[in-house]
Chains A and B, each alone.
Chain A
């Protein structure tokens, strides 16, 4: 049979059937490994356990296959035949098996076509481990980067952030979430993102002023969430004025203060910049519809 029907059949097979077909004979195996057919997968989750691998996959129709105790060869096969664009590629690394990350790096690096995914979620304990995955994803389709720490690791500084920021993938992606890590770099280096959720070790007030200026003149910025931000009220109000609105709200039996400031956007009359500080330590800059601002609230120039 020629390549056209072969490819058509494989693209209509579920992922489990493709993996089973590989085991039928070497002719089919060679075709599957060499052909550039698209699989049905939308989500691929790889976990590097303490001694082996496991994977879970999903298609538009739900779970598409999972396996525990996989070998490196299994991983090569799964990633090798993945030619269509994933919605999400997720990697979780057990801190005691960091060496296996080099194997994963080699598989990704040696793929004839870089793995394509719109979102990547990497759960690692160090920034240097991110560098073994992120550079090998296709930067042309990557939109969202999420870096997380394992549950047992919290509030650690993300090392190698400067090298991560030099990657094409980092420069082109539009959304970034860094959870569990804090970063110690200039806030201005993140201004190209549309959406960001991050914790800085320290943010000088002038960087926040710069963020406001860029936000109000930017056509692309949507949301900047700065976690674990402790506000110096006097210093903040000197630069941003008194809050346009201040409320106290009880969440889970604890009261928090919410302060809001509004600024006109120079790029659009329909939108405004809403800055919200919540006393549990969140400072957010967000583009909202001007029509959604409450009446009698000051919107500053």
Chain B
């Protein structure tokens, strides 16, 4: 199944599912609504517990407000639910402590994660928050793979991290806000953060 064909869709774009399964409604912090199948939700320990505790009937799902996920935006949540729908019914991996973790990135996941670093960071954060073990594993694997064969300077660019010197300069700038040069350093660093979104570490 391709990423485009995955069944997670924004409510305003999609028809009502034809399958006679329970589809829960979730809402992101920017008011995007998603319908997600019961089976797909099982990939998320957090959401699965939540819907179990709510004990919704099919009517409740339609009549009550969508379940709000207040700290994840629509763009990220769409990726999360696409992943869950594609992998619904699959066993959730158990961490047996083996190192290195044996994690393969399937083709679907690779395409899904063909996104900018800022969104990848948000996806990892969401996978951790919603406790989606395998999504966390594959997304972290992607980040780990990005480190291979790189120098420290290259890693700073990849992961949007400041060097010790830049970090010190930013701190000094904060302390010496009147100093125009320090402010310049701080502004440059802030601009880099804005361009790249969040850093991984």
Contact = CB atoms under 8 A, between A and B. Distances in A.
Interface string B131-167: 0000011011101110110111001100101111001
A50 interface: no
A9 interface: yes
B107 to A, nearest CB: 19
B173 interface: no
Interface in B87-112: 97, 99-101, 103
A152 interface: no
Given A4-B136, A21-B155, A28-B161, A84 B201 contact: no
A121 to B, nearest CB: 22
A23 B152 CA distance: 6
A9 B148 contact: no
B128 A4 contact: yes
Interface residues of A, number: 28
Contacts, number: 85
A21 B144 CA distance: 10
A14 B145 CA distance: 9
A40 interface: yes
B162 A40 contact: no
B100 A5 contact: no
Given A4-B128, A23-B152, A12 B162 contact: no
B151 to A, nearest CB: 7
B148 A17 contact: yes
A46 B131 CA distance: 40
B141 A12 contact: yes
Contacts of A60: 100
Contact of B121 (A1, A39, A59): A1
B125 A5 contact: yes
Contacts of A84: 99
Interface centre among B99, B136, B143, B144 (most CB of A within 10 A): B99
Interface of B: 97, 99-101, 103, 121, 124-125, 127-128, 136-137, 139-141, 143-145, 147-148, 150-152, 155-156, 159, 161-164, 167, 200-201
22 contacts: A1-B121, A1-B201, A4-B136, A5-B140, A6-B201, A9-B143, A9-B200, A10-B144, A11-B99, A12-B100, A12-B101, A12-B140, A13-B144, A14-B148, A17-B144, A20-B152, A21-B155, A24-B156, A24-B161, A25-B167, A26-B164, A38-B99
